[in-house]
Amino acid sequence: MIRVPALQARTASIRQSIRWSRSLPLQAQHQPWSPRRSFASQDSSTLSLIDKRLRFNLTPAEIESAASSALDLQKKSKSFSSSFGQLAQCDNDITGELSVVQFLKHISTEPEVRATSTAVSQQIQSAQIEISMRSDVYRSLLSTPVSAQTHPDGDEDSRLVEKTLQDYERNGLGLSQDRQDRLRKLRMRISELCLEFSKNLADDRTVVKLTRDELEGLPEAFLQGLEKATEDGIDKYIVTMKYPDIIPVMKLAKRDETRKRLYIANSTRCAPNIDIMQEVIQLRNQCATLMGCSSHAEFQLQPKMAKTPEQVLTFLNKLREGVTPIARRELQTLIELKQKEKSALGQAFDGQLHAWDVQYYSDMLLREQFQVDHEKIKEYYSLDAVTKGMLDLYEKILQVRFVPVESHVWHPDVQLIRVDDSSTGELVGHFYLDLFPRDGKYTHAACFPLLPGHLTADQQRQSPVAAMVANFPKPRPGYPSLLKHGEIITYFHELGHVMHEICSKTKWARFHGTNTEWDFVETPSQMFENWCWNERILTALSSHYQTGDKIPQELVQSLIKSRNVNAGLNCLRQIFFGLFDMRVHGLAENESVDVRSLWQQLMAEVTLIPGIEGTCGAATFGHIMGGYDAGYYGYLWSEVYSTDLFETMFSEENILNGIHGRAYRDKILGPGGSKNGIDIIQSFLGRRPEDRMFLKRLGI
């Protein structure tokens, strides 16, 4: 349990980390910030609106009441006489309220609140399914004269008409009544199961208790941060499955058995989720059949950039063919490294690299051949220093200004930040940072849209609000929160999603921010990751937590040179996830698949590294149960586009180019989903995107 004094100290640390330098050169020394100009009156009214619409201290009864009121308003609005504008305006009005009551299940400190939020989320999803299948509303929209379906404002209103009708059609309104009823029941059951899957992940408390000897290789600072327990009279450290615990152990624990125990524990947890996933796959297949599609993948891909399963499989298999020879060479290097270590230790070598060996020997390779010691490197990247430098960078590139403000938050660690346009002072939006793990909290890193930007009924602009939730290492006695390079990349990535939410400027909430085609949504955020591999940027972000010194040039250069170390193996792992997703969602009618055996089969075939019998990582593969079904390929798909965007517009001499950055803000982030992704990219590049830059980076 965290004690209050430690909590208060950590809160002060976070809030201080937001007070970064306002000097233009990124390399400038950071000093405590003081405002250049005041927007107090503007901010006061905005905050009152945020505090009114985004209450995070709701009781269980208030959660139920808020959801009920919002859904009642939506049901009234979606009457027989509904128009496209009326429906969209209703979505504008209620999205914030519905977002908060569902967001609480991820971040509330109260188990009862999380449980109520989870239950209400199910009710909301069921109600949304019912509302989305109102045939009377659909008929009313179809009877609207064509001239009334467009609007003088132009393309976004025309797109609203197109997408609204498409949504109703994809919700089965063109089916007979008995098929509609069947589809509704199937989708409600799917919704229930996906929420149960998510809840199992959030509630999981799997731990492994290990002695100091079993944790040989882990630094003392890490061990001091672990909880301890006595078992059979022996003092042990408690290692959870949360990233800040398990990743360092998998990378640094010298004993094979220790890493194997953690791998098995992590790959066998949430076992009931396998049956849940199995059922969801079959139900999705039945829905696709009702909709006249050959598979769920075919149905899901129709509105995306890729359009067809064949296009996705061609993309993944072409990439797999290109990177597999590279990955085989990388695998052989790791096997030789393992053989060398075993020989030096006088231990038997079984000639194989196991799944629990990959991170350990990859980290050893970085240290021995590239002189990349992530434990040493992270000493230069405290959360405070990274936050200051990162926000300074985002300010300069996107031409915005970040201002920390006081407001109601859900936990003392959380900070609210206002975003203003740096040239006009106009309010752009607000976002929250919630960066440390705690019991019951969402276990990964993500951006949660809370209040989408849109035009109100009286044509005033509602500014957006979003939250970044992460699980970075907590400060420990004598040590601040220190970020490894991979965690810095995660920080940049998720804040990229936040900036997509904040900088988007659309008329309708349904098109705001990350409401894009699902295989485009990662492109803007992945593009921001590229700054994490630039020497100038990494130097500017650094400040040794004890001395304040910048990271030595040779250390950062070695880190950059290591970018493509095991790039083939890492790419194959992403291809494996994508192919598993496409395989389970590409089933034809009446086909079935055993999730466990398929996971093991594809893992061995694609990644070149088999798992272990009796385990199944699919139980924690939350992506395909939470929106990325027949869509996980989108991470690699988007990376191809994001690499092209970065290499074309932000080469070394343009790494801090505010003109290009403002164009990126306006042309890539600004439209949200109000335009097709391919058109958005072309408007910025002046041409169609290519895969040449991505393949070159991988060495293909």
Q: Which pLDDT value is given to residue 6?
A: 28
Q: Which pLDDT value is given to residue 316?
A: 97
Q: Confidence class of residue 435 from pLDDT cuts 50, 70 and 90? A: very high
118 vs 125: CA distance, rounded Å:
11
Give, for 622, the enclosing helix (H) or strand (E). none
* 26 has pLDDT over 50: no
- Structural domain spans, the chain: 36-132+134-170, 204-266
Token pair 């650094």: residue: 542
Q: Confidence class of residue 45 from pLDDT cuts 50, 70 and 90? A: low
Q: Which pLDDT value is given to residue 13?
A: 32
| Mean pLDDT across 162-186 | 93
CA-nearest of 198, 306, 222 to 620 is 198
Query: Looking at the domain that runs over 36-132+134-170, which CATH code has it been given?
Result: 1.20.1050.40
By DSSP bridging, strand 461-462 and strand 227-231 are unpaired
* 693 has pLDDT over 70: yes
Q: Which pLDDT value is given to residue 590?
A: 81
pLDDT digit string, tens, across residues 96-116: 889 999 999 999 999 999 999
State the amino acid at position 612 in one-letter form. Answer: I
503 vs 662: CA distance, rounded Å:
10
| Mean pLDDT across 619-626 | 93
Least confident segment among 140-144, 331-335, 677-681:
140-144
* 36 has pLDDT over 90: no
289 vs 299: CA distance, rounded Å:
9
Give, for 631, the enclosing helix (H) or strand (E). none
* 485 has pLDDT over 80: yes
18 vs 432: CA distance, rounded Å:
12
| Mean pLDDT across 172-190 | 93
* 16 has pLDDT over 60: no
Burial of 225 (0-12, 13-18, 19+ CB in 10 A): middle
By DSSP bridging, strand 465-469 and strand 446-451 are antiparallel
463 vs 314: CA distance, rounded Å:
41
Least confident segment among 5-9, 197-201, 208-212, 274-278:
5-9
18 vs 11: CA distance, rounded Å:
11
Higher-confidence residue: 148 or 216?
Answer: 216
Is 341 part of the annotated catalytic residue set? no
Which residues are within 8 A (CB) of 306 and not within 5 positions of it... i.e. 6 or more apart? 312, 315, 519, 633, 637
CA-nearest of 613, 582, 569, 625 to 263 is 613
* 451 has pLDDT over 80: yes
What's the number of CA atoms in the CB half-sphere (13 Å) around residue 375? 14
3-class DSSP assignment, residue 151: coil
621 vs 599: CA distance, rounded Å:
11
Q: Confidence class of residue 452 from pLDDT cuts 50, 70 and 90? A: very high
567 vs 325: CA distance, rounded Å:
11
Q: Which pLDDT value is given to residue 273?
A: 97
Q: Confidence class of residue 294 from pLDDT cuts 50, 70 and 90? A: very high
Residue 605's alpha-carbon distances to 93, 226, 379, 574, in angstroms, are 49, 37, 38, 13
CA-nearest of 403, 674, 661, 426 to 524 is 661
H-type alpha helices, 306-382: 309-345, 358-369, 374-377
141 vs 81: CA distance, rounded Å:
8
3-class DSSP assignment, residue 484: coil
Higher-confidence residue: 463 or 91?
Answer: 463
Q: Which pLDDT value is given to residue 90?
A: 84
Which residues are within 8 A (CB) of 690 and not within 5 positions of it... i.e. 6 or more apart? 644
* 431 has pLDDT over 60: yes
| Mean pLDDT across 600-606 | 97
Token pair 């139980």: residue: 619
Token pair 């503007």: residue: 42
Which residues are within 8 A (CB) of 81 and not within 5 positions of it... i.e. 6 or more apart? 140
| Mean pLDDT across 50-71 | 88
| Mean pLDDT across 622-648 | 93
* 17 has pLDDT over 70: no
28 vs 20: CA distance, rounded Å:
11
Choosing from 214, 379, 487, 494, the catalytic residue is: 494
CA 470, 471, 473, 476 torsion-angle sign? positive
| Six-digit token string for 479 | 């040590």
Q: Which pLDDT value is given to residue 78?
A: 61
361 vs 325: CA distance, rounded Å:
19
pLDDT digit string, tens, across residues 536-594: 999 999 999 999 999 999 999 999 999 999 999 999 999 999 999 999 999 988 889 99
441 vs 384: CA distance, rounded Å:
22
Residue 400's alpha-carbon distances to 421, 426, 448, 452, in angstroms, are 4, 9, 21, 18
Higher-confidence residue: 592 or 53?
Answer: 592
* 636 has pLDDT over 70: yes
572 vs 479: CA distance, rounded Å:
36
State the amino acid at position 177 in one-letter form. Answer: Q
3-class DSSP assignment, residue 191: helix
Partners of 240 in the β-ladder: 207
By DSSP bridging, strand 461-462 and strand 454-455 are antiparallel
Asked if residues 638 and 530 have their Cβ atoms less than 8 Å apart, the reply is no
Token pair 């660690």: residue: 413
21 vs 12: CA distance, rounded Å:
17
266 vs 471: CA distance, rounded Å:
17
Give, for 581, the enclosing helix (H) or strand (E). helix 567-584
State the amino acid at position 453 in one-letter form. Answer: G
| Mean pLDDT across 272-295 | 96
Asked if residues 176 and 207 have their Cβ atoms less than 8 Å apart, the reply is no
299 vs 353: CA distance, rounded Å:
39
Percent above pLDDT 90 for the chain: 72
* 15 has pLDDT over 50: no
Asked if residues 278 and 595 have their Cβ atoms less than 8 Å apart, the reply is yes
What's the mean per-residue pLDDT of the chain? 88
- For the chain, the distance separating the N- and C-terminal CA atoms, rounded to the nearest angstrom, is 50
Q: Confidence class of residue 61 from pLDDT cuts 50, 70 and 90? A: very high
Higher-confidence residue: 258 or 15?
Answer: 258
CA 353 to chain centre: 30
The pTM of this model reads 0.82
* 46 has pLDDT over 90: no
